[in-house]
Amino acid sequence: MRLGLLLAVSIASTAFADNVQATLWHYNIQYVAGGMTRFPDGKNRIPDYDLTEAEVEDRIIAESFEPVLDIYLRHPAWKVDLELQGLMIEVMAARHPAALAKLRALVDLGQVELVSWHYSDQLFLAYPRRDMVRSIARNKRIFQQHGLVLSGVVFTQEGQFNEGMLDLMREHGYTTAVLPKNLLSYQHADEQRAFFRSGGIDVAVGGRGGAVGDLSFGWSGPGDGELIVTSKMNPYAGKKFFATDAGIGEYEGQRVQAEDAGVRFVTITELVELAKQRGAFPPMPPINDGTWQPNSTRNLYRWMGGLGGLTDALVPTEKDSVVLATNLRSSMDVAACEAVVAWAQRRPGDEARRAALEEAERELLLAQVSDSTGWNPWLAEVNYSLEHAHLASEASKRCIDAPELRGPARRRIDLAAGTVSEPPAPLSSAAEPLEAPPLEVKVEAPGRTVQQLWSRTAEGHAELTIDVSAAAAKSDRSISAVFPVSFDRLVYVPALDEDRLIDLPAAAFTNPEHTLPLPTGLMGIGPNRFLIESTRHVHVTALLRPQERLVDFRDDTVRADEPQRWRFVVVDGDFGAANSVAKRLNLQPVLEYELSPRQGCGCGGAPTSAAEPLMLLLGAASLRCSKRGARPALCRVSKPARPTLRRNQRP
């Protein structure tokens, strides 16, 4: 009897030689980007909610972050992964040095594994790769400056994940990606494995527990760290957002009980290494661009065209496409500034131009924060992005139009070649109207008038301009352009991998709808036929439904009082030709800036306002580039005169 009992205990103890748990909490210092002054209607001051941007940031650190650090300092055997951005480190260094010192101590002790990939909590899947490269580099510098060692783990804002990011991770020394379990289940309902390998990167399915050999593992999180000791209150609660004894006690007590039951708390890096010791990881199934809660957000649609939450019911502030397209135009300005810095590096004023570029980069990354288009964007959050995008462009133009760079009235910058020149006479026009459109596009815009104009811009290239008037009623906020798709496949360029074409059968995925962010604008709609969204004019997610043979570009956040101009290009040809057009249009156009007149410089040109880019060249053609919508009051900054965007003639 005793022998049998001892044998049973021995078998039970060796069945799972190690029982571990990984913990991952995500902190977002931009949880309420721009603060809560006059929240929620932008008019009245409610004392419990009337907090500035800095006051919201301070509460996040003091009430939700530092108390968690204190818990781990009390329990030296516990380990945790904390995801936060470089901006949060800057805020702590400036106003919360004690919290930063505690974080540094926990990192040095090996209890906290720091997870950070972006400087600002950007919706990076919607923007060019170059912007994410800037963000990674800036982020690493900040952590280094403050003596904080970053891990090789990547988990991102809103759990954004795609295959394009894996290559970028490898280039920058990251080794492990966290794939949200909900995104995996959304795309592959029958896939139950918890670890994969893809492109030289280990992939751990965040939140999915299980067993590998004699290793039993579980997760706490991934989740919002702001909620775990505040009795589930979030920063939108204003002054009611604070750490509670009940919240701290519950969190700490649960972990004491787990530890008493034999659970060992490990970092994600340690969990992955323990799992790898039990066998090689299988290849990862194909994963399309997505986020961590696709079922409740319709995946990326919530951030790229889908109407958000409660505050918009009080005052209609959200306008996703305007924010996203404005940020893309500012990204071009920053890239142009970078080209000028390289071109004029040996000329006087180099230090000032580099300082302007540094400022422009930072403002752009702040502008790309996801919160201005996502769950609950209220007035200040929308204006936060528009204001920072404006400041990014203004800093870029101070660099491009620097007074020490003598020249004629205009400066031409080719982003693809990285060249800067002083342009000759304006280019001539060569667009032709099309008598018969190449395909039928169904546009729905309740309460508005719609005009479609097709023209030929080059052989095999057709351009569609959709002009939509202001609406008749405040409730008329939706515009939809539905294009036919002639095959049952997913063909598109993923975010962060702008020279790669994904081409997969729709049957490879469980979900019937795919939300594609298309930062290059390019997707396939048939054999050797590609559709390009002009992301400078409209930037919403492509709602691709292969079984229905359609793709819907929809924005439910259009302001009723704002007319819209959407542009698309259809290219008949191979991927190489179509991708060249897409990159020239949306990533690397030729830009022209009108320079400010300067007395005595011999520049020529009549007095005019400061520079505004003239966006050129769609292969052998160009698209009209008009700004849409008035800048909100918050964005009217006392800077050099904001120039007017003009139409460029085609060659």
Confidence of residue 610 (pLDDT cuts 50, 70, 90): very low
What is the Cα 271 distance to its own chain's centre?
Answer: 28
**Cβ contact 430:589 at 8 Å:** no
Q: Which of 253, 257, 251, 255 is nearest to 226 (CA)?
A: 251
Pairing of the two strands 201-206 and 176-180: parallel
Lowest mean pLDDT among 37-41, 263-267, 312-316, 557-561: 312-316
Is it the case that residue 295 has pLDDT exceeding 80? yes
pLDDT tens across 236-252, in order? Answer: 999 999 999 999 999 99
Phi, psi of 414 (to 5 degrees): -100, 105
Phi, psi of 262 (to 5 degrees): 105, 10
Angle between helices 320-343 and 350-367 (to 10 degrees): 160
CA distances from 167 to 137, 175, 280, 426, 498 (A): 15, 10, 20, 41, 11
From CA 425, how far away is CA 409, in angstroms rounded?
A: 11
Q: Which residues contact 2 (CB under 8 A, 6 or more apart)?
A: none
Buried b (16+ CB within 10 A) or exposed e, 78-104: bbbbbbbbbbbbbbbeeebeebbebbb
Across 519-533, average pLDDT:
97
For 180, the token pair is 């949200």
Is it the case that residue 642 has pLDDT exceeding 70? no
Across 540-557, average pLDDT:
97
Across 542-559, average pLDDT:
97
- pLDDT score, position 650: 28
pLDDT tens across 413-462, in order? Answer: 999 999 998 887 665 556 788 888 999 999 999 999 999 999 998 888 99
Confidence of residue 281 (pLDDT cuts 50, 70, 90): very high
Phi, psi of 606 (to 5 degrees): -75, 155
From CA 88, how far away is CA 57, in angstroms rounded?
A: 8
pTM recorded for the entire structure: 0.90
- pLDDT score, position 434: 87
Beta bridge partners of 531: 523, 570
Across 534-545, average pLDDT:
97
Phi-psi region of 496 (alpha: psi -120 to 50; beta: other; left: phi over 0): left
User: Using the 8-state DSSP alphabet, how is residue 299 labeled?
Assistant: G
Q: To the nearest whole number, what is the mean pLDDT of the chain?
A: 89
Helical ranges in 344-445 per DSSP H: 350-367, 379-400
Beta bridge partners of 153: 176
- pLDDT score, position 311: 67
- pLDDT score, position 424: 75
The amino acid that residue 72 corresponds to is: Y
- pLDDT score, position 116: 98
- pLDDT score, position 383: 96
Confidence of residue 596 (pLDDT cuts 50, 70, 90): confident
- pLDDT score, position 429: 56
Confidence of residue 600 (pLDDT cuts 50, 70, 90): very low
Is it the case that residue 95 has pLDDT exceeding 70? yes
CA distances from 283 to 196, 357, 524 (A): 5, 41, 26
Q: Which residues contact 287 (CB under 8 A, 6 or more apart)?
A: 161, 162, 163, 179, 183, 184, 187
Residue carrying the six token digits 């009623």 = 473
Residue carrying the six token digits 């520049």 = 603
From CA 461, how far away is CA 414, in angstroms rounded?
A: 22
Beta bridge partners of 566: 466
**Domains of the chain from N-terminus onward:** 15-292 (3.20.110.20)
pLDDT tens across 179-201, in order? Answer: 999 999 999 999 999 999 999 99
Lowest mean pLDDT among 92-101, 149-158, 469-478, 483-492: 469-478
Angle between helices 379-400 and 320-343 (to 10 degrees): 20
Across 83-102, average pLDDT:
98
Is it the case that residue 615 has pLDDT exceeding 50? no
Q: What is the dihedral of CA 496, 318, 630, 383, to 10 degrees?
A: -80
